Amino acid sequence: PSLPTGRPAHVEFTRYEIDHDGFGGFQPMRAVITDEYKLAIHLLDTDEFYAADDPYDLVNRIGDESLAEVRNALHDELLDWMNRTRDPFRGYQWACRPWRADKTPSWDVDGFTRQRENDPGEYRQLDYSTGLTMESATRSK
């Protein structure tokens, strides 16, 4: 469901088991959920897209072109959320899905540097590219 603010809820998952190598091991997944739709991106498996009129999630509509505009908007929201939260696993693989022909692999991904903001009392970090004091933690490369 959407959050009380009306914004979508986001879900992330990476590994079933830390101490043992069972239960599937590394299974990276990110999802965005609204009152009407659920989009789950499984980096190593088939993606899922469900509508509210399918309460048991029986019909995966990931390839349904009649819902492509909604699906792609949710996908863009998910990618934006991964960038905003500095997801450590972000990369072009999350964007380049079989059903998303408008996305292409790129070493620069979105072309941003996302350094950590300083904690109170810390000296301002230096820009990776110039060695000068960074002006903004998130900036174009």
pLDDT per residue over 15-63, tens digit each?
A: 766 666 666 678 899 999 999 999 999 999 999 999 999 999 999 999 9
Answer for the pair 88, 49: CB distance below 8 angstroms, yes or no. Answer: no
Residue 114 vs residue 90, higher pLDDT: 90
CA distance 83 to 112: 9
Rounded alpha-carbon distances, angstroms, from residue 132 to 55, 106, 125, 128? 53, 27, 8, 8
Does 9-110 carry CATH code 1.20.1250.20? no
Q: Where are the domains of the chain?
A: 9-110, 113-141
3-state secondary structure of 74: helix
DSSP characters for 24-52? TSEEEEEEEE-SSEEEEEETTS--EEEET
Q: Give the end-to-end CA distance of the chain in Å, rounded to a whole number.
A: 36
Rounded alpha-carbon distances, angstroms, from residue 119 to 88, 114, 129, 133? 19, 15, 21, 15
| Residue 48 burial (C-beta neighbours within 10 Å; 0-12, 13-18, 19+) | middle
What is the pTM assigned to this prediction? Answer: 0.79
pLDDT attached to residue 59: 98
92: amino acid identity, one letter: Y
